[in-house]
A and B are shown apart, each in its own frame.
Chain A
Amino acid sequence: MAHGPKPGFSRWLYTTNHKDIGSMYLWFSFAMFLLGGCMALVIRAELFEPGLQIVQPEFFNQMTTMHGLIMVFGAVMPAFVGLANWMIPMMIGAPDMALPRMNNWSFWILPFAFAMLASTLFMDGGAPNFGWTFYAPLSTEYAPPSTTFFIFSIHIMGASSIMGAINIIATILNMRAPGMTLMKMPLFVWTWLITAYLLIAVMPVLAGVVTMMLMDIHFGTSFFSAAGGGDPVLFQHVFWFFGHPEVYIMILPAFGIVSAIIPTFARKPLFGYSSMVYATASIAFLSFIVWAHHMFTVGMPIAGELFFMYATMLIAVPTGVKVFNWVTTMFRGSMTFETPMLFAIAFVILFTIGGFSGLMLAIAPADFQYHDTYFVVAHFHYVLVPGAIFSITAGVYYWLPKWTGNMYNETMGKVHFWLAFVGLNVTFFPMHFVGLAGMPRRIPDYALQFADFNQIASVGAFLFGAAQIVFLFNVVRTVMGGKKATDEVWDDPEGLEWTVASPAPYHTFSTPPAVR
């Protein structure tokens, strides 16, 4: 067990080491983040002015679709799995992940799956063009031939996610150091345990719905065709039964990261640990019974509208518990504002804005006004960009010194933060206004009165994109060298990961540590 990493490329291809695999996940996710980001910039460049400027509507549709798919499945989810790989074994005092070879398999499926997905851009008829939610019949009867490849890439991505989630659950339930009881686990571990459960519960449903599409397209079944007795709305129900828990898959680990960072820089223990655990579990439970709030305008019975409206509003309660706990943790703390903390505080504020616009959308009668407008785009980008992306960024800055043994450049980190913070608000805040005024989403052109806000949004988007270059530069420089980090890195942080050397040895906790 005392061996270090193998030399050469085989280290990455054949590795069973959770740190290697975590790093690969993180780099892959960053590459996908840039790719999906470039697609977003194509969208924003086209929307800089009304009228068609740069791309054709067909290509614009492919860009919105691929941007969504790549960001959800390629950027956010793998980044969280990467952080889980790096941190969970160190946080619970385990020698590695429970099933190390399957761990490697889960990762390597992803580059192949996304190569297959991206290759659809070059196929006859173009890439999938029906939005990342791929509603039938647009994605069945009227879909380009490349949809078949899209379906199978979703299948193998799903296999990767399920195996990754099984691995994480087995690790958490079976590999904790003696004395690490469930209620002593760091919140990042707790949120990932619940996230992994959600993944295993809903990724098979996604596999089911794309299988139904495949059968409808090629084998003459009638799932989504009323002519044969099926129903296109069935697609939306099955998709969102996956899709809503998926939203929490992309945010629960973020809660865990922020719950690690805020106590460190407020120099106070996390306020309300157990209520955080119960709130996470409640959110996960509620995520299964709110899916049709994405479909208020599709034509549901009034009882359905009411049920899904109230159930959705209930989510505000456990989410509010979390926000208040973070704020109370900071209350009268000796706060300092290093880069991870800046991102974490921005997370709390901006995620709350996204939560409030979610509450507005949850009101079924009001949703008829907001549905499919830029207000929805503003809402979910406020929860995903300063929610998921900022928390991942915060986590990377927070743990990077532990991973590399070097401190990142604090000034550059702060520059990155402020560029990203300003950029994202300039991009997405105006979308609230154009959305409320009625600008529909996923359309390459718009009426003249939306031009001002769209120009502002496009400028913000390029600013946000530029901020990521600073991030990349900072991370690469830290990996290459820099000021040596201490083992604790920060001022008396909580957690087993800070008890090992910086950089963390290739194998940590080959013998389990003692947990008080």
Chain B
Amino acid sequence: MASESSYYVPEQSRLPIFATIGLFLTAFGAANWINGGSSYIFFIGALAMAGVLWFWFAAVIRENMAGLNSDQLKRSYVWGMGWFIFSEVMFFAAFFGALYYIRTFALPWLGGEGDRGESNMLWQGFENTWPLMVTPDAAVHGDAAKVVGPNDIIDPWHLPLLNTVILLTSSVTVHIAHVFLKKGKRNAFNLWLGLTVLLGALFLFFQVEEYYEAYVHLGLTLESGIYGTTFFMLTGFHGAHVTLGTIMLLIMLLRSVIAHHFKPDDHFGFEASSWYWHFVDVVWVGLFIFVYVLGS
């Protein structure tokens, strides 16, 4: 119980107030930019935010290496990361829920089926299909429609399948890296972690290629009705999370290679990043099944 009685509480810290200012400038700047103002505030805020995070994590790492972090305090970080990932799960749940509400209820009703089928009187001639290639607007207004559907959609069995294999493999490689870290084999750890980062980057490369294909060749865009909306919002937020996860793992790799951080029994920074990575992997499996395969 000796370690339990010395929970490290820093006396004061300037980090949070700077983080607040950074976050505020980012949010305010984003709103200002989107509303047609200049983008400077946003970029200053984002830079400030990144800087604060750098110093904040550096402080935590320094404290841990100075032996300030008791086992109990480390458990707080574990709970913190776990519940943060749960909040991310719920964020994606909102978008998956929207997709399935649209597919199960809204579109059939708009198309004249079921309990609320009378909504079809507003969009006569609209038929419910998924993927939605002809929007209600296009069904009623023809060439005068503002929101028209895509010409084609992404075939799940090419790039998405490849990306599924890549991301699933990366979950395995990051696990192997973890096993080597626990055995104290730093070179093998670096190798497998580096491989994971490469796979993450490769995934993102193919995702960009897929978006290029969708926008340039298929007419599948954010503006192409509810199919494009749900497709890009779900895969887009996932892609943003993969980007963040790749950056996290890359930083872990650099910490290991350059600074020789992490001990076989003390490496929560890496562990938390790998949990995050497994999380984005699971979300992708959900996307592959529910957006790509069952959506085509």
Contacts and interface: CB of A to CB of B under 8 A. Distances in A.
Given A104-B17, A156-B27, A166 B84 contact: yes
Contact of A155 (B27, B95, B226): B27
A208 interface: yes
Nearest to A105: B16
Interface residues of B, number: 74
Contacts of B95: 208
Interface stretch (B18-26, B184-192, B195-203, B254-262): B18-26
Given A100-B10, A204-B91, A214-B34, A227 B136 contact: yes
Contacts of B87: 162, 166, 200-201, 203-204
B83 A170 contact: yes
B122 interface: yes
Contacts of A214: 34
Interface string A138-172: 00000001001101110110010010011101110
A148 B229 contact: no
A175 B80 CA distance: 13
- Which interface residue of A211, A212, A225, A237 has the most chain B CB atoms within 10 A? A225
A223 B229 contact: yes
B222 interface: yes
A149 B31 contact: yes
Contacts of B145: 227
A299 B24 contact: no
B281 to A, nearest CB: 19
Interface in B15-54: 15-17, 19-21, 23-24, 27-28, 30-31, 34-35
Interface stretch (A36-44, A108-116, A184-192, A275-283): A108-116
Nearest to A13: B17
Given A108-B16, A234-B102, A170 B91 contact: no
A159 B95 CA distance: 18
B116 A225 contact: no
A400 to B, nearest CB: 25
B11 interface: yes
Nearest to A165: B83
Contacts of A222: 135, 147, 225-226, 228-229
Nearest to B128: A229
Interface in B126-177: 132, 135-137, 145-147, 149
Nearest to B114: A301
Contacts of B83: 165-166, 169-170, 200
Contacts of B5: 511-512
A228 B9 contact: no
A92 interface: no
A77 to B, nearest CB: 16
Interface in A84-130: 94-96, 98-102, 104-105, 108-109, 112-113, 116
Given A14-B17, A234-B101, A152 B229 contact: no
A78 B72 CA distance: 27
A167 B80 CA distance: 7
Contact of B7 (A15, A175, A218): A175
Interface residues of A, number: 81
Contact of B94 (A3, A149, A162, A204): A204
Contacts of A14: 12-14, 16-17
A211 B228 CA distance: 16
A243 to B, nearest CB: 13
B23 A159 contact: yes
B27 A228 contact: no
Contacts of B23: 109, 112, 156, 159
A167 B94 CA distance: 23
A149 B222 contact: no
A229 B226 contact: yes
Contacts, number: 223
Given A116-B24, A156-B23, A204 B88 contact: yes
A299 B105 CA distance: 12
B110 A173 contact: no
Interface SS of chain B:
helix
Contacts of B286: none
Contact of A101 (B15, B34, B77, B226): B15
A223 B229 CA distance: 7
Nearest to B81: A166
Nearest to B148: A228
Given A108-B16, A201-B90, A512-B4, A227 B147 contact: yes
A118 B28 CA distance: 13
B272 interface: no
A448 interface: no
B64 to A, nearest CB: 14
A203 to B, nearest CB: 7
A95 B114 CA distance: 59
A301 B116 contact: yes
B76 A98 contact: yes
B32 to A, nearest CB: 8
Interface in B77-130: 77, 79-80, 83-84, 86-88, 90-91, 93-95, 97-98, 101-102, 105-107, 110, 114-116, 119, 122-123
A323 B262 CA distance: 53
Nearest to A171: B76
A84 to B, nearest CB: 15
B66 interface: no
Contact of A156 (B24, B114, B119, B132): B24
Nearest to A17: B9
Contacts of A225: 147
A174 B94 contact: no
- Which interface residue of A109, A165, A170 has the most chain B CB atoms within 10 A? A170
A237 B75 CA distance: 36
B31 A102 contact: no
B77 to A, nearest CB: 8
B20 A105 contact: yes
Interface string B209-230: 0000000000001110111110
Contacts of B221: 220
Nearest to A168: B83
A105 B24 CA distance: 12
Contacts of B251: none
A205 interface: yes
Contacts of A167: 80
A228 B137 contact: yes
B24 to A, nearest CB: 4
B233 interface: yes
Interface string A225-244: 11111110110011001000
Contacts of A201: 86-87, 90
11 contacts: A13-B14, A98-B76, A173-B79, A202-B90, A204-B94, A220-B223, A222-B225, A228-B226, A228-B229, A234-B106, A238-B97
Given A148-B34, A227-B135, 18 more contacts: A14-B12, A14-B17, A94-B7, A99-B76, A102-B80, A105-B19, A112-B23, A116-B31, A149-B31, A152-B30, A152-B31, A174-B76, A200-B87, A204-B87, A207-B94, A215-B229, A227-B146, A241-B94
Q: 8 closest pairs, A vs B, by CB?
A: A208-B94, A229-B226, A231-B106, A105-B16, A220-B223, A204-B91, A301-B115, A227-B137
